[in-house]
Amino acid sequence: MGTYATIIYEKKDKVAWITLNRPKVLNAINLVLTHELLEALEDSRCDERIHTIVITGAGERAFSAGADINEFRELSVASRIGDKGRIRPHYLIREIAKPVIAMVNGLALGGGFELVLACDIAIASSGAQFGLPEVRVGVIPGAGGTQVLTRLIGDKKAKELILTGQPISAEEALKLGVVNQVVAPDKLKETVEAFIDLLKNNGPLALGLAKIAINKAQETTLSTGLSYESDLFTICIATEDAKEAATAFLEKRPQA
């Protein structure tokens, strides 16, 4: 692991912890942070020792307030077109065949909210807020907000949130299915760690393929998705992981 200017990247007990580390600007996402987050995610993806990835924000006020407006004002059409072919953290998270958890400790706005939407599981502090305020600066969400949020909560509610730019509370996000759990701020990390413990004894290959299959369900027809699921199931049963998991289950012991 290298030295980073805008994130903190740590590995412990098969978990990669990535902390967006620009608390003075509410962990706003600039180009440096984007590149460093991509690097950390790619490293976590390739490290066979890593079972789960957690993304959070430094400080108590924000997970991430979204794009750094100072850089945003300098964007041009030409630079945006040139950037389109590059993979973004939001997209890479969906492709990583490992569980990625958002530990949301405060504001999650714009690109920060889109990071949460990209993650597989989201556990939030009761003080967290979520929103896509891009229309207030004359643009639309550009990292999955219009597509992922609509699939998650339906077009009517997605239009309300995107067209008004108004934030919602953690409790409303829970009701809409945007987050999985809402807990007191002082219980946030231990709740995430308890959730990670639920995953640790599950086969990493099965977890990864299950994630990919579920993501596929949002992109294709039912018949195509069922065929894809069957193919992935066949891959699973041919592995040593599956044989060991079945043996451990029958012997009532943890997996080796």
Q: Is residue 195 part of a domain?
A: yes
Q: Is residue 193 part of a domain?
A: yes
**83-98 pLDDT, tens digit each:** 544 568 999 999 999 9
CATH number of the domain bearing residue 190? 3.90.226.10
Q: Is residue 109 part of a domain?
A: yes
- Domain check: are 98 and 225 in the same one? no
Place of tokens 């789960």: 52
Q: Is residue 119 part of a domain?
A: yes
Return the sign of the alpha-carbon dihedral for residues 172, 52, 206, 253: negative
- Domain check: are 175 and 66 in the same one? yes
Q: Tell me which residues are annotated as active site.
A: 114, 134
Amino acid at site 168:
I
- Domain check: are 23 and 133 in the same one? yes
- Domain check: are 196 and 246 in the same one? no
- Domain check: are 223 and 105 in the same one? no
- Domain check: are 196 and 225 in the same one? no
In terms of residue numbers, what domain contains 220? 204-250
**180-215 pLDDT, tens digit each:** 999 999 999 999 999 999 998 888 889 999 999 999
- In this structure, of 8-22, 69-83, 140-154, the range with the lowest mean pLDDT score is 69-83
Distances (CA, A) of 190 to 80, 171, 186, 197: 40, 19, 8, 10
Domain count, the chain: 2
User: Cα–Cα distance between 105 and 125 in angstroms, integer?
Assistant: 5
